[in-house]
Amino acid sequence: MADDGMMLNMVDDGSAFRALPVYKGGHWKDRLTARKAAQHYQKRVATQKQTEADAARAAKRRRVEKTESDEAVPERHVATTIPIAPKPPPNADEQPKQFISSLFTSNPVPKTQAEETNAVDRDPVMPSNAPLDDGLSNFTALGLSPTLASHLLHKMDVKAPTAIQETALKELLKTDTDAFIQAETGSGKTLAYLLPIVQRLMNVSKAEQEDGSVGRIHRNSGLFAIILAPTRELSKQISVVLKSLLRCAHWIVPGTVIGGEKKKSEKARLRKGLNILVATPGRLYDHLTTTKSFDASNVRWLVLDEGDRLMELGFFDEIHRIVGRLNNAMKDPRRKDIPGLPTSRNTTLCSATLKSDVERLGEISLKNAVHVQAEAGDRDDEQHDEKEEVKDSDKPDVFMPPAQLQQSYVVVPAKMRLVTLYAYLKQVFAGAKPDSKAIVFMSCSDSVDFHFDVLTRTKEEEDDDDTAQEPSPTKKPINRPIRTSTTSTTTTTPPNATHASAPTISPNLHVHKLHGKLPQPLRTATLSSFATTPRPALLLCTDVASRGLDLPRVDAVLEFDPAFSAQDHLHRVGRTARAGRPGAAAVFLLPGPEEAYVDVLARAARTPPRRRTADDVCAAAFGPSPASTSASASPAKGRGPATPPPPPPRWHALATAYQLRAERWALARAERGAAARRAFAAHVRAYATHVAAERAAFDLRALHLGHLAKAFALRERPAGMGMGVRVGVGAGKGKAGGGEREGGGKRGRRDGERDGDGAAAAPDPDEARRKMRAKMKMAMDAASEFNIG
């Protein structure tokens, strides 16, 4: 064996290469091994230095080109694909070739056309969920005490009841009966069922007992009302409204038990005593079965808020067991007979629609229920306060959004989704009020995280990304994480932050993100910050914020990803145009099969939704076209030379520049590229989960994965995401899972070269889609993304 000194001769300080040392002594095999090792080491160092030098020159060349492009916008848009890396050998473990495709080539032609009515301003409509202002209806006339009515007016700024509140108060204050409350979003259903409960408890507190004393209710009097909500956010919101309402009756004690909180502190609150409890079904059933100090024998009211959502989230079994335990608790000897309170338990079910699953929920909880409903056109009808039992003929199939809500849809090609989102948000917040807010709904939590990072990136990050090392056009790329300059500065936003500024969209804009994967304290803090901030605010979220939340001053709602059902769409757009305020809602649709979803939107709207295109949105945000380029040139007649086509509008170059900056930002660091790929994969999985009745409009086989990848700042589809192709199959061997393109063959094709439906070839697309949904269910990705309880 060679001695240790012979191995030390291989150490290099990195400043320069030395001649190979001459090895002496030892066995000849040892000398040969050491000499070959030294040769391999020097060759590897030389290759690495050459690669870094080429990458530095390429980065410097890109900075010069960017400076020139910023000083003078090119008059002609390059629509060809530009290779930035050579094709690797079939057996090499290296990154595949990337192409930069144009945003404006090979996009499908929209099937729908703009109607003439879209160009004409529609007549203003009266809000359907606004408080009554005819002077005939006020809270005192409906049966509320002057103390409670004055508190609503002066402390809660509620000047008059809404139509549903008027109907509910007339019915629930006078009689002890079960009720089904059905009303549109933003019409005040929370106060409709809270006010009767609070008023009845206040009446009991002021009533004189037989001995002449006042029987004021206190925390030790017992639990009288339970309110069940499907989500933690909605439970928190109901609790906030209830606490504000009880400031005029401080002796009535409210409380909350929800998932994600500490059970020990909740048990302590239950042990001390509560009069009104707001809870989620799972946590309430847990306390009913495990907390010995939880006494439910005196419960007089049970409210099931958002009944359709309770059923969608699978709470039927928990509610069935809760109702059974409450029925048994009524026979408990500790139950008190209190004059002024119902002798039996009354149940109130709140839901926007009467679907079959809601009917099942009503069958186990309601008995001889009164149907409480108030439409805008029935306000002057004197008969809508009469008892009306729920019959099959009275069940509406579709519930309409508020009349003052302006709905529209935007036809956006897949490649332009990111640019159009940026342009749409610039329009929303351009010249908006200082406290205006908007909500963008997305299909999955990974997509929310990615778009949050893209929209809140800073100018310093983009400048640092320009110095990032990318593969040279003339050198083979090395399969390793992309490095950044040692002088780069890090962003001031922590990786797990849920809010950040987005000055590129609008000055002082505050962007928040919310989804079910965030811890409960972060979700609560995010909602509170979004609702109370005096700055313009944007919320990127999943359906966790689509139900029941009353977020003030929301001017616009954008469904970046269409809802998974028409009912979810109604609840999403219901976050705006609340309590009579105006609002606007829009949804992005891909050209092709998704345009059939317009019929679903039309059925769920009082007026036909307006149609817009991505070109309209981008042109308005990036700047109108110059007058010289707006007129189209006509071909010359005769033998003269043909008139050259007009150059593309100026906003084409600006939109392309924004897209390229986003792509460079995503490619600059390995974690950003990984986040973009996760968001892309999660979006495709969620795309296959639309309800069966609407799945024809969202055909996974017609989804152009290459174009869609560009919407996530990726320059090509991630490997293994084709139809019927598993990730990792054949990686590094030139097969479908490794280096092939969307074409499905060995040759492949560039992104954007072929128009059409863009679907990759697959032996059995239906089977592939079924396997994809099964895999999603097994991996519980969908559950973690959509489970908002």
Q: Identify whether residues 228 and 286 lie together within a single domain.
A: yes
**Residue 332 in domain:** yes
**Residue 636 in domain:** no
**Residue 644 in domain:** no
CA 430, distance to chain mean position in Å, is: 22
Residue 126: what pLDDT? 61
Confidence of residue 9 (pLDDT cuts 50, 70, 90): very low
Q: Could you give the CA distance from residue 204 to residue 400 in angstroms, rounded to a whole number?
A: 39
Q: Could you give the CA distance from residue 522 to residue 146 in angstroms, rounded to a whole number?
A: 39
Q: Could you give the CA distance from residue 604 to residue 410 in angstroms, rounded to a whole number?
A: 17
Encoded tokens for 523: 């979700």
Confidence of residue 550 (pLDDT cuts 50, 70, 90): confident
Alpha carbon dihedral 401, 405, 411, 414, in 10-degree steps, equals -70
The SS3 of residue 224 is coil
Residue 73: what pLDDT? 44
Q: Identify whether residues 339 and 457 lie together within a single domain.
A: no
**Residue 645 in domain:** no
Encoded tokens for 126: 């009266």
Give the range of the structural domain holding residue 14, as residue numbers without chain letter: 4-72
Q: Identify whether residues 432 and 461 lie together within a single domain.
A: yes
Residues linked to residue 410 through DSSP beta bridges, in sequence order: 588, 612
| Dihedral of alpha carbons 607, 613, 616, 620, sign | positive
Judge whether residue 238 has pLDDT over 90: yes
Residue 469: what pLDDT? 42
Q: Identify whether residues 268 and 155 lie together within a single domain.
A: yes
Count of beta carbons in the 10 Å neighbourhood of residue 246: 20
Q: Identify whether residues 221 and 353 lie together within a single domain.
A: yes
Q: Which of 54, 72, 90 is the last residue of a domain?
A: 72
Judge whether residue 740 has pLDDT over 90: no
Encoded tokens for 652: 């084409």
Residue 367: what pLDDT? 87
| Among the listed residues 255, 253, 280, 275, the one whose alpha carbon sits nearest the alpha carbon of residue 267 | 255
Q: Identify whether residues 158 and 214 lie together within a single domain.
A: yes
The pTM (predicted TM-score) of the whole model is 0.64
Mean pLDDT on 440-449: 96
Residue 72: what pLDDT? 47
Residue 282: what pLDDT? 93
Judge whether residue 730 has pLDDT over 70: no
Burial 295-332 (b: 16+ CB within 10 A, else e): bbbbbbbbbbbbbbbbbbbebbebbeebbeebeebeee
Count of beta carbons in the 10 Å neighbourhood of residue 144: 22
Mean pLDDT on 499-515: 89
**What is the tens place of the pLDDT at every residue in 617-640?**
999 988 764 443 333 344 444 455
Residue 127: what pLDDT? 65
Most confident of 71-80, 167-176, 778-787: 167-176
The Cα angle at residue 788 between residues 183 and 512, in degrees rounded to 5 = 90
Q: What are phi and psi of 39, to 5 degrees?
A: -65, -45
**Residue 67 in domain:** yes
Q: Which of 72, 105, 121 is the last residue of a domain?
A: 72
Mean pLDDT on 298-308: 92
Burial 68-95 (b: 16+ CB within 10 A, else e): eeeeeeeeebeeebeebbeebeeeeebb
Judge whether residue 508 has pLDDT over 80: yes
Q: Could you give the CA distance from residue 765 to residue 724 in angstroms, rounded to a whole number?
A: 7
**Residue 136 in domain:** no
Confidence of residue 209 (pLDDT cuts 50, 70, 90): low
Rg of the chain over Cα atoms, rounded to whole angstroms, equals: 32
Q: Whose structure tokens read 């006078």?
A: 174
Judge whether residue 599 has pLDDT over 60: yes
| Dihedral of alpha carbons 710, 716, 721, 722, sign | positive
Confidence of residue 218 (pLDDT cuts 50, 70, 90): confident
The pairing of beta strand 583-589 with beta strand 405-411: parallel
Q: Identify whether residues 176 and 312 lie together within a single domain.
A: yes
Judge whether residue 706 has pLDDT over 70: yes
Judge whether residue 390 has pLDDT over 50: no
Q: What is the largest CA-CA distance in the chain?
A: 114
**Residue 119 in domain:** no
Residue 4: what pLDDT? 47
Q: Measuring CA to CA, how many Å separate 303 from each of 190, 240, 323? A: 10, 16, 11
Q: Whose structure tokens read 């509406």?
A: 396
Mean pLDDT on 179-200: 87
Judge whether residue 665 has pLDDT over 90: yes
Read off the CATH number of the domain in which 540 is found.
Answer: 3.40.50.300
Q: Measuring CA to CA, how many Å separate 723 from each of 129, 298, 303, 424, 592? A: 46, 58, 46, 31, 19
More confident residue, 322 or 314: 322
Mean pLDDT on 14-43: 74
**What is the tens place of the pLDDT at every residue in 669-695?**
999 999 999 999 999 999 989 988 888
More confident residue, 727 or 339: 339
Residue 735: what pLDDT? 34
Residue 399: what pLDDT? 61
Q: Whose structure tokens read 């795309």?
A: 687
Q: Identify whether residues 427 and 366 lie together within a single domain.
A: no
Question: pLDDT averaged over the chain?
Answer: 75
Alpha carbon dihedral 591, 712, 609, 600, in 10-degree steps, equals 70
Q: Identify whether residues 350 and 424 lie together within a single domain.
A: no
569-573, 610-614, 777-781 — which is least confidently predicted? 777-781
Q: Could you give the CA distance from residue 216 to residue 209 in angstroms, rounded to a whole number?
A: 10
- CB of 643 closer than 8 Å to CB of 635: yes
| Among the listed residues 526, 520, 574, the one whose alpha carbon sits nearest the alpha carbon of residue 550 | 574
Q: Which of 47, 72, 97 is the last residue of a domain?
A: 72
| Among the listed residues 471, 748, 656, the one whose alpha carbon sits nearest the alpha carbon of residue 80 | 656
- CB of 361 closer than 8 Å to CB of 349: yes
Q: Identify whether residues 252 and 281 lie together within a single domain.
A: yes
- CB of 558 closer than 8 Å to CB of 198: no
Mean pLDDT on 5-17: 45
Q: Identify whether residues 460 and 335 lie together within a single domain.
A: no
Q: Identify whether residues 13 and 40 lie together within a single domain.
A: yes
Residues linked to residue 346 through DSSP beta bridges, in sequence order: 301
Q: Could you give the CA distance from residue 438 to residue 557 in angstroms, rounded to a whole number?
A: 6
Residue 476: what pLDDT? 41
Proportion of the chain above pLDDT 90, given as a percent: 32
Residue 478: what pLDDT? 35
In the chain, how many domains are there? 3
Residues linked to residue 214 through DSSP beta bridges, in sequence order: 208
**Residue 703 in domain:** yes
| Among the listed residues 239, 218, 220, the one whose alpha carbon sits nearest the alpha carbon of residue 228 | 239
